[in-house]
Amino acid sequence: MAQSSNFDFDLIVIGSGAGGSAAATIAAREGKRVAIVEAETFGGDSPNWSDVPTKALIHAARLYDEAKHGEKFGLRGSMMGYNYPLVRNWKNLAVQRTGAGNNRRYYESHGISAFNGSAHFLSPNEITVNRRHLSSASFLIATGSSWTTPNIQGLDDAGFQTPRTLLDLIRPPKSLFIIGGGSHGVEFAQLMATFGTRVYIAEKAGRLLPKLDEEVGELIEKTLEEQKGVSVLTHSRVLSVVKEGITKTVLYTRGGVEKSIKVEEVLIAAGREPELDLGLENASVKYTPKGVDVNDHLQTTAKHIYAAGDVLGRQRYTHSALLESQVAVHNILHRGKIVPDYTAMPGIISTTPEIAHVGLSEDDCIRRDLSINKAIAPLNIIARSNTSDFRNGFVKLITDKKGVLLGGTIAAPSAGEMIHEIGLAVKYNLTAEQLAATPHAFLSWSEAIRVAANRLI
């Protein structure tokens, strides 16, 4: 990227979340004149309202739940209670500690000009922010996505929560109806139920977590129902929500039968849409409601404008947005273009058991008409399940007919830490035999990976 004195900046990054922050910092380190524009709170979704605060609350809930059920280990925990304002204080401290939330000063300390306001393209090389005109040789669009409001009669009038607003409630609701059985829906179902909320979760598909392997949805449904008293309503569609005093009546259909439930709160966790209100037409950038159009190098239809993160409408992981940010800025700064490699991009769902997956699922393989072998190792066959008294989980591995790892799914207490071994195998075309031959420490949860691999030899 050649610097041009005709413009205010060499690069303007629109959005300070994972899709934008890495690019801005890297370009500044390379001596470029960089600006970053943020419409809301600096740091974006992940540290302020998503990953960090949610996982902090989930960690507190797990500790509370384990302590409360410690009788089997000889621990008197039945009288355990919690102080929710103090739990929220912990969540806020965790956000503060990461340093990534509300971090405008971070950018300014790196010589990056930071602007708070909505960016709007006036031309291919010029935007306006709070009526201030800024020009740049190159741009990176990393505006992310926001929760969508489904078209449900009365929902707007009745009021509802999103995974973002639910974090700031002063107490857990007495009852909660969750619309959407994806990763956010099941995380919040378990979290709120642990703190005593009566939870209902509705999903249009025939199982929770419909994008993952069937065994995962079945396990999480069983766990939520049997351990947390959650009512799982699969094959269900919400028809209307009506506010009646301090409660809300949710009308839904299941199996062709209309039913209604009164709850204190409704949570929408059924989809996000890219933030596209940027005047992209003025910059000759093509897009659809699903996201900005880019080529393999993350370049838009305007050659000097790139895009990364949720605004692409692809994977919705913070770590994939970070990868795309790094790839995009490399391609902006250098002639030799590179492409993002999503081969071993893991996904983690912070339920108990934790769910982690990488590579192709069984459904992915069926859609691609691939011939595969698969094996499942239940957690209860390894010694760690006895010492920890945790038996509900498994490791599932999928290989091609030559034994090369294509993907894997783990449901276990430390699945998010374990998945990278399988990710490494998928990325570098290792075989199940090689995985099984790798020594695994006795009494680690990862022994289940070795067992599953051994079943594929």
CA separation for the pair 363, 90 (Å, rounded): 39
Question: Which residue ranges form the domains of the chain, and what is each CATH number?
Answer: 9-44+101-146+273-333 (3.50.50.60), 51-93 (no CATH), 155-270 (3.50.50.60), 347-454 (3.30.390.30)
Least confident among 97-111, 223-237, 353-367, 417-431: 97-111
- Nearest partner of 267 among 315, 202, 220, judged by Cα: 202
Using the predicted structure, report yes or no on whether residue 12 has a pLDDT greater than 80.
Answer: yes
Q: At what angle do helices 415-427 and 447-454 cross, to 10 degrees?
A: 40
CA 402 vs CA 12, 344, 370, 428, 436: distances in Å? 48, 19, 12, 14, 15
Q: The tokens 């290792």 sit on which residue? A: 430
CA separation for the pair 419, 437 (Å, rounded): 17
State the pLDDT confidence band at 306, using cuts at 50, 70 and 90. Answer: very high
Using the predicted structure, report yes or no on whether residue 421 has a pLDDT greater than 70.
Answer: yes
Q: What is the mean pLDDT of residues 63-79?
A: 89
Which residues partner with 372 through β-bridges?
Answer: 400
Using the predicted structure, report yes or no on whether residue 294 has a pLDDT greater than 90.
Answer: yes
Which pLDDT score, from 0 to 100, does residue 77 have?
77
Which pLDDT score, from 0 to 100, does residue 99 have?
84
State the pLDDT confidence band at 118, using cuts at 50, 70 and 90. Answer: very high
Which pLDDT score, from 0 to 100, does residue 195 have?
97
- For the stretch 140-180, pLDDT in tens is 999 999 999 999 999 999 999 999 999 999 999 999 999 99
Residue 135: its H or E element = strand 132-141
Q: How many helices (H) and strands (E) in the chain?
A: 14, 23
CA separation for the pair 456, 372 (Å, rounded): 11
Contact in structure between 320 and 327 (CB atoms under 8 Å): no
Q: The tokens 């498994």 sit on which residue? A: 394
Which pLDDT score, from 0 to 100, does residue 291 have?
97
Q: What is the mean pLDDT of residues 414-421?
A: 97
What are the tokens at 407?
A: 């993907």
First-to-last alpha carbon distance for the chain, in angstroms, is 50
CA separation for the pair 259, 231 (Å, rounded): 13
Which residues partner with 291 through β-bridges?
Answer: 288
Q: What is the mean pLDDT of residues 354-367?
A: 96
The chain-wide mean pLDDT, for the chain, equals 96
Which pLDDT score, from 0 to 100, does residue 205 have?
96
CA separation for the pair 313, 316 (Å, rounded): 8
Helix (H, G, I), strand (E, B) or coil at 121: strand
Which pLDDT score, from 0 to 100, does residue 50 have?
93
Contact in structure between 306 and 331 (CB atoms under 8 Å): yes
| DSSP string of 382-406, one letter each residue | SHHHHHTT----EEEEEEETT-BEE
State the pLDDT confidence band at 377, using cuts at 50, 70 and 90. Answer: very high
Cis peptide before 150 (omega within 30 of 0): no
CA separation for the pair 324, 424 (Å, rounded): 19
Q: How many CB atoms lie within 10 A of CB 31?
A: 10
- For the stretch 310-322, pLDDT in tens is 999 987 799 999 9
Which pLDDT score, from 0 to 100, does residue 4 have?
61
State the pLDDT confidence band at 3, using cuts at 50, 70 and 90. Answer: low
